[in-house]
Amino acid sequence: MDTVITKKKFNFFAGPAILPASVLKQATAATEDFAGMGLSILEISHRSKQFAAVMDESASLAKELLGLDDNFEVLFLTGGASSQFYMAPMNLLPSTGTACYVDTGTWSAKAIKEASMFGNVKVLASTKESNYTSIPKNYEIPSDATYLHLTSNNTVFGTQHESFPETNVPIVCDMSSDIFSRPIDVNKFGLIYAGAQKNMGPAGVTLVIVRKDMLNKVDRAIPTMLDYNTHIKKGSAFNTPPAFPIYVSMLTMRWVKENGGVAAMAAKNEEKAQLLYNEIDANPFFKGTTSVEDRSKMNVTFAMNDPKLEEVFFEACTAADCVGVKGHRSVGGFRASIYNAMPKEGVQTLVDVMKDFANKNG
């Protein structure tokens, strides 16, 4: 793993999020001269052989890291995960079909709203009444559903699917905040999408992985730019792709591979999450905000038993160079995002701040 740069703050923001130090160094160099071309990565033609090589390697790395076979297409699109809330049902949901959704928070609710414009949507389960503090369980999945939509990790509320349902219905999944963080059984999924800026790269590109047999089953007219087939045929370069975000995502995927792949990431993420949750549970000033069995290993949410001390704690975090720990504006409290690139040292620093806070205020 990368050596921590002492002058760089520990970035606990949910996104745009932390990137590996080596990736930032390579990306910075490429903004001056990319691949010996005498041009910046920000200037080169997306039709050049040098950038074509970036596109090829990016797709190849995504397939290798996730264990994808030739039944899947890998696309690099724009518009963020939010654009996939409508592109997925537009491309996959026939007018006579039913898309099933599980509501686990802010982003799944937005996905449900968009999908409802294209066909029949059935919400199988929701934890909205409990303010999304857990993941629904033991819901029945209709065997004739076109697909089941899940949000694998919920950045706002700090919950995560520990596992995915056993079903013959293809799963469509928003993996924006935990892509490449753990091994998955790709055969369960018909489509995976992920905005890069939480765990893969900078904002500006969205990874879309679609199983070929999911396509060409709708009878509606689809605008050219919103048709997955358009981008498959043109290798994600029908229009000018976001070259720099794709390049940085490629570097990040290289980094994941060089550091042991997603299995190694999962082990380190488990260690970091356990370190922080142990302190939350042991420290009398703090409390977790989600059910223990559904706690996210990417976005750790917690609160203070005495909210009046929140600002004092924020000041202590800032003084220790731990930034971005304020909770989402819709829920308050605290949130520490500990994605793949967050070193254990960063989590330990935050834990030390919490311990010191308890000692000074106890």
DSSP state of 138: S
For 253-308, the pLDDT digits (tens) are 999 999 999 999 999 999 999 999 999 999 999 999 999 999 999 999 999 999 99
What span, in angstroms and rounded, lies between the C-alpha atoms of 155 and 352?
24
- For range 224-236, the mean pLDDT: 98
Q: Residues 184, 298: one domain?
A: no
Q: Is residue 362 very low, low, confident or very high in pLDDT (cuts 50, 70, 90)?
A: confident
**Phi, psi dihedrals of residue 104, rounded to the nearest 5°:** -120, 10
Whether 15 maps to a domain, the answer reads no
Q: Residues 126, 270: one domain?
A: no
For 179-222, the pLDDT digits (tens) are 999 999 999 999 999 999 999 999 999 999 999 999 999 999 99
Which one is catalytic: 103, 107, 255, 268? 107
Whether 340 maps to a domain, the answer reads yes
CA dihedral 256, 258, 263, 267 (to 10 degrees): -80
Whether 76 maps to a domain, the answer reads yes
Contacts for 307 with CB less than 8 Å, ≥ 6 apart: none
Is 107 labeled as catalytic in the residue annotation? Answer: yes
What span, in angstroms and rounded, lies between the C-alpha atoms of 279 and 86?
40
Whether 310 maps to a domain, the answer reads yes
Which one is catalytic: 103, 178, 188, 198? 198
Sequence-ordered strand ranges (E) for the chain:
10-11, 72-77, 98-103, 120-126, 147-151, 153-154, 159-160, 171-174, 189-195, 206-211, 286-288, 299-304, 322-323, 334-337
CATH number at residue 79: 3.40.640.10
Whether 116 maps to a domain, the answer reads yes
Q: End of a domain among 208, 227, 258?
A: 258
What span, in angstroms and rounded, lies between the C-alpha atoms of 127 and 273?
23
Domain that holds residue 190: 23-258
Helix (H, G, I), strand (E, B) or coil at 69: coil
* Neighbouring C-alpha atoms within 13 Å toward the C-beta of 78: 11
Q: Residues 172, 301: one domain?
A: no
Q: What is the pLDDT of residue 7?
A: 60
Q: Are 228 and 210 in contact (CB under 8 A)?
A: yes
Which one is catalytic: 174, 268, 272, 297? 174
Q: Residues 223, 322: one domain?
A: no
Q: Angle at the Cα of 344 (from 343 to 350), degrees rounded to 5? A: 105
Is the full-model pTM beyond 0.75?
Answer: yes
Is 174 labeled as catalytic in the residue annotation? Answer: yes
Q: Is residue 8 very low, low, confident or very high in pLDDT (cuts 50, 70, 90)?
A: confident
pLDDT exceeds 60 at position 45: yes
Q: What is the pLDDT of residue 330?
A: 80
CA dihedral 62, 154, 328, 280 (to 10 degrees): -100
Tell me how many domains the chain contains: 2
Is 255 labeled as catalytic in the residue annotation? Answer: no
pLDDT exceeds 70 at position 41: yes
Q: Residues 118, 141: one domain?
A: yes
Whether 325 maps to a domain, the answer reads yes
Helix (H, G, I), strand (E, B) or coil at 42: coil
For 71-96, the pLDDT digits (tens) are 999 999 999 999 999 999 999 999 99
pLDDT exceeds 80 at position 5: no
CATH number at residue 282: 3.90.1150.10
